[in-house]
Amino acid sequence: METRRKLFIETYGCQMNFSDSQIVGSIMTDNNFETTNNIAEADLIFVNTCSIRDNAEKRVRARLQEYKRYKKLKPGLIIGVLGCMAERLKSQLMEEEKMVDVIVGPDAYRDLPRLLELAEGGQKAINVILSADETYADINPVRLDSNGVSAFISIMRGCENFCSYCVVPFTRGKERSRDPETIVNEAIDLFNTGYREVTLLGQNVNSYKSDDGTGFARLIERVALINPKLRVRFATSHPKDLSEELLKIMAAYPNICRSIHLPVQSGSDRMLKLMNRKYDRQWYMGRIEAIRSILPGCALSTDIITGFSSESEQDHQDTLGLMKWAAYDYAFMFKYSERPGTIAEKKYKDDISEEVKSQRLKEIIDLQQELSYRSNLADVGKTFEVLIESFSKKSGKELSGRTSQNKVVVFPKQDFKPGDYAEVKITACTSATLRGEAVIKPLNLL
């Protein structure tokens, strides 16, 4: 029997990248490789990259330098760069990073076996061609580093929103949606193998539309109907496309989680226009009001960029004011990082100093920590259904799971295990975590 070679995959960036790494793992498993968590034993190293911010690319470059020592220890080792950074930098990466043998864009993963053969023959191998129809719908992903409870399902690829600061449309290409049957079947398979939560992924899931006309609201309903014990989440929603039809379907199915990630980026109309976000402050607030009305108790998270081109102190205050009004449960907050090739890089100056960006980001983070703490404090004394994902990182005597609102809860394990649902009464909190005790329901003796 032929010995299977070892593949080590390291992933940076968004949930879509982690989903893509699972697709790559499946393709390579079908070509006589097996995945490993031990980089020292790898015959093939892939780093799946992100280009959304400059800091992410710097981290990858630093990691590539660390790979040099593995190449020296094992001369036959093949190193590949995958994903958005591979697509964006292409031949530049091959020229600068001499130890890199293979460069593959997000739409070319099926070509990996051929590219690997070229690399093993001493050639540099590259394929970064973007596809108008590739969705990898027929590939059953290898669930790398899985907890066996929660899984991602990629339902569409690409983006056509062209936000002025964003490189994604240039690295991932045009929008295309998977056939709904393949998505539903993947979710059924996951449930039947013990998974109890799926997250439907896309750069903008709300714009999902299959060839048969199925939209996102009907798709998520079909997934929710698989079994009431299968939780369903989704990410990410663009505010311009968040429909009331989707909110009403969410309200009709308790297993569609009460949590919506709705990136705002800025609370200033002027900034939103420069960012080409295709909505204004009032429209965005209207979407939140619809969520509050149709889905009371739904958690809300967001993305915020500070220090975008020409951002004034008033623009910054507008963002802080919107944060207070929305009372976000949590947020992902960043300093603006100009990306080469974007609309903003071509049209606007990156003219806010690092000092001002850092100060404004600190104010945003400080405010969000206060908002998150208030949100969690309001949950103390309440009881939530928690899907248990793992043991607590701090103690094997405690379990960690999440509520429908996507809040992390830590509690004594008793007789529960990962994959179980537990009713947990919240007794204390920090800005990041809820703590509680499982409520043991009395037996019905009647």
Q: What is the DSSP string of 263-323?
A: --B-S-HHHHHHTT-S--HHHHHHHHHHHHHHSTT-EEEEEEEES-TT--HHHHHHHHHHH
Rounded to an integer, the average pLDDT of 22-50 is 91
180 pLDDT above the threshold of 60? yes
Mind listing the pLDDT tens digit for each residue in 198-255?
A: 999 998 999 999 999 999 999 999 999 999 999 999 998 999 999 999 999 999 999 9
340 pLDDT above the threshold of 80? yes
pLDDT band at 307 (very low <50, low <70, confident <90, very high): very high
Q: Residue 409 corresponds to which amino acid? A: V
For residue 2, the model assigns a pLDDT of: 64
Residue 53 in tokens: 């911010």
Mind listing the pLDDT tens digit for each residue in 41-87?
A: 999 999 998 877 778 788 888 888 888 888 888 888 999 999 888 88
Sorted by sequence, the CB contacts under 8 Å of residue 112 that are 6+ apart come out as 24, 27, 28, 31, 80, 102, 104
Burial class (CB within 10 angstroms; exposed 0-12, middle 13-18, buried 19+) of 278: middle
Topology of 5-127 in CATH?
A: Rossmann fold (3.40.50)
SS3 384: strand
Question: Comparing 31-40, 56-65, 165-174, 413-422, which segment has the lowest mean pLDDT?
Answer: 56-65
Q: Where in the chain is the domain with CATH 2.40.50.140?
A: 383-438
Q: Domain spanning 383-438 has what CATH number?
A: 2.40.50.140
The per-residue pLDDT of the chain, averaged, comes to 91
Rounded to an integer, the average pLDDT of 413-442 is 92
pLDDT band at 133 (very low <50, low <70, confident <90, very high): confident
Rounded to an integer, the average pLDDT of 423-431 is 97
The candidate with the shortest Cα–Cα distance to 437, out of 446, 426, 429, 445, is 426
DSSP 194-237: T--EEEEE-TTGGG-B-TT--BHHHHHHHHHTT-TTSEEEEE--
For residue 90, the model assigns a pLDDT of: 74
Question: What's the N-to-C CA distance of the chain in angstroms?
Answer: 60
Place of tokens 């007794």: 427
Residue 100 in tokens: 């890199």
Distance CA 439, CA 446 (A): 20
Sign, Cα dihedral of 321, 327, 328, 332? positive
Distance CA 255, CA 250 (A): 8
384 pLDDT above the threshold of 50? yes
For residue 53, the model assigns a pLDDT of: 77
Per the model's pLDDT, the better-predicted residue between 319 and 108 turns out to be 319
Distance CA 332, CA 373 (A): 15
Three-state helix/strand/coil letters over 329-357: CEEEEEECCCCCCCHHHHHCCCCCCHHHH
Residue 17 in tokens: 């990248």
Question: Comparing 33-47, 91-105, 292-306, 408-422, which segment has the lowest mean pLDDT?
Answer: 91-105
Tally helices (H) and strands (E) across the chain. Answer: 14, 19
Per the model's pLDDT, the better-predicted residue between 395 and 222 turns out to be 222
For residue 145, the model assigns a pLDDT of: 66
Q: Where in the chain is the domain with CATH 3.40.50.12160?
A: 5-127
- φ and ψ of 231, to 5 deg: -75, 145
For residue 446, the model assigns a pLDDT of: 40
DSSP state of 166: -
pLDDT band at 360 (very low <50, low <70, confident <90, very high): very high
For residue 97, the model assigns a pLDDT of: 67
Q: Domain spanning 150-376 has what CATH number?
A: 3.80.30.20
Letter string b/e over residues 368-390, b meaning 16 or more CB atoms within 10 A of that residue's CB: beebbeebbeebeeeebebbbbe
pLDDT band at 441 (very low <50, low <70, confident <90, very high): low
88 pLDDT above the threshold of 90? no
For residue 51, the model assigns a pLDDT of: 79
pLDDT band at 107 (very low <50, low <70, confident <90, very high): confident
Residue 163 in tokens: 């936000």
Rounded to an integer, the average pLDDT of 385-397 is 89
293, HSE (Cβ side, Cα atoms, 13 Å): 7
Q: Where in the chain is the domain with CATH 3.80.30.20?
A: 150-376
Distance CA 227, CA 245 (A): 21
Distance CA 87, CA 103 (A): 8
Rounded to an integer, the average pLDDT of 304-327 is 98
pLDDT band at 93 (very low <50, low <70, confident <90, very high): confident
